[in-house]
Amino acid sequence: MAGAHAATISFKNNCPYTVWPATLTDDGKPQLSTTGLELASQAKFQLDTPVPWTGRLWARTGCSTDASGKFACATADCASGQVKCNGNGAIPPATLAEFSIPAGGGQDFYDVSLVDGFNLPMSVTPQGGTGTCKTGSCPADVNAVCPSELQKKGSDGSVVACLSACGKFNQPQYCCTPPQNTPETCPPTNYSQIFSQACPNAYSYVYDDKSGTFTCNGGPNYVITFCPSGPCCGDIYIHIGTIDM
């Protein structure tokens, strides 16, 4: 088929520690060829995706394999027992990069989401394209300002992630569930505002569309950075190209 589109995703870890990126394709579509991998600091990796594609990317931290061979992570684990997530999503709290990329170079939607909490800094910057094409980002260490009741601590007692208020309390005013399931009845809370103040260009809660969601037309590239405020300039490139099949 002539003119089919494909996306190439290139990962680079800018954190000063190893992370384990993972991918999840939405809408019941086939998963990507790699749903999880280990990525050392400053390392890179590439894989292809079909287009259109809707899904999410995240990075797990503090991962290890126990004596029985079971793989698990301190944050954003997907409970597969393996490095690959095999169609499982991230267990909150997890910083997510979310994409909806259409075929034919139409309007892309993308964001960095803290709706499921935070585990590490991340940013998404389009390269090229037309329209607003702004950066979605959470470059700050939200763990440093996480309220004690939302903190997830590691085995050494340090804060390794920050839960969302919905994930912690499971109440309508935080989760925007009935009867508070509209933007009017579910405004920002003190907890979501902590996320919003730390990362104003990230999605802080369910109805944060105005500040959290970004668009870009014309098939841009994307640079996703784990730990964007780190010592260098790590990136993940998502490139929309055209191939002949």
- State the pLDDT confidence band at 222, using cuts at 50, 70 and 90: confident
The structure tokens 């991230």 sit at 90
Annotated domain spans of the chain: 4-243
Query: Could you give phi then psi for residue 195, rounded to 5 degrees?
Result: -65, -45
- State the pLDDT confidence band at 223, using cuts at 50, 70 and 90: confident
The answer to whether the beta carbons of residues 166 and 174 sit under 8 Å apart is: yes
Superfamily of the domain at 4-243: Thaumatin (2.60.110.10)
- pLDDT tens sequence across 116-146: 999 999 988 887 888 999 989 999 999 999 9
- Confirm whether pTM is higher than 0.85: yes
Q: Between 1 and 45, where is the model more confident? A: 45
Q: Cβ contacts of residue 83 below 8 Å, gap of 6+? A: 20, 36, 37, 38, 63, 71
